[in-house]
Amino acid sequence: MTLVRNLGRRDYESVWQAMSRYTDIRDEHSADEIWCVEHEPVFTQGQAGKAEHLLNTGDIPVVQVDRGGQVTYHGPGQLVVYPLLDLRRAKVGVRDLVTALESATVAMLQEFGIVAAPRADAPGVYLTDGPRAGNKIASIGLRVRRGCSFHGIAINIDMDLAPFLRINPCGYAGMQMVQMAELVQPAPDWNQVAEIFVRELLRTLGLADANWQPLDENEFARLRAPEQGKEEQETTNG
């Protein structure tokens, strides 16, 4: 059974610390978890990040992180999903996980009448129909350590997209972003989107049904302890 936790709205760095720590201390018996969260406004710059893609960040903090890829923006009204999965146990490769994240997003969007698809040249999900075709609605950035994944996918639901104009999203100058609220009225409910996405992700990966559990705040605080024992990693981005 995969444990799914709704973290609510939290600052980025505390969640990053916690998921990294969980990856470091877990063993072959540890449960796979999926964390769903909204972040306070933040730009995150991946391992391949270049300063030239930070155009005018202003008062929004920039955090250098250990996922793959370039810069992206997180903020309220965006669904960020972190799959903390033992890929070796699930017999899932990194490319398989990227494909599953993209496929789950496409399937979720279809339930709201939104037509989208991944692109072979740039991970993520993009509209394929209508006047906004080609605009990006979901971005992916992963890291794998000790055979386990963390970081994940960000899906734009009902947020302020203006901060994306302060960067070259995922390193692409002129990349146009879009959100579900511009395509569906009334704007989709964040919790409903999260539930549909998680269901589709688990189905795509062939994993057991989700067991939604509240987050134990004491456990979350413990996981924010300093990381130890970092090992080799694989990364992907978009």
What is residue 124's predicted lDDT score, i.e. its pLDDT?
A: 96
What is residue 220's predicted lDDT score, i.e. its pLDDT?
A: 87
148-181: per-residue pLDDT in tens?
999 999 999 999 999 999 999 989 998 999 999 9
What is residue 225's predicted lDDT score, i.e. its pLDDT?
A: 62
- Residues placed in the known binding site: 67-74, 139-141, 152-154
Nearest in space to 73 (alpha carbons), one of 145, 167, 182: 167
What percent helix, strand, coil does the chain show, rounded to 5? 30, 30, 40
Number of domains in the chain: 1
What is residue 226's predicted lDDT score, i.e. its pLDDT?
A: 55
Six-digit token string for 129: 């129909």
CATH code for the domain of 93: 3.30.930.10
Q: What is the DSSP letter of 204?
A: H
- Residues placed in the known binding site for substrate: 67-74, 139-141, 152-154
pTM here is 0.92
**Which domain range does residue 210 map to?**
2-237
What is residue 238's predicted lDDT score, i.e. its pLDDT?
A: 58
Q: Which residues form the catalytic set?
A: 170
What is residue 202's predicted lDDT score, i.e. its pLDDT?
A: 95
With a cut of 70, list the residues of the chain below it in pLDDT. 225-238
What is residue 231's predicted lDDT score, i.e. its pLDDT?
A: 41
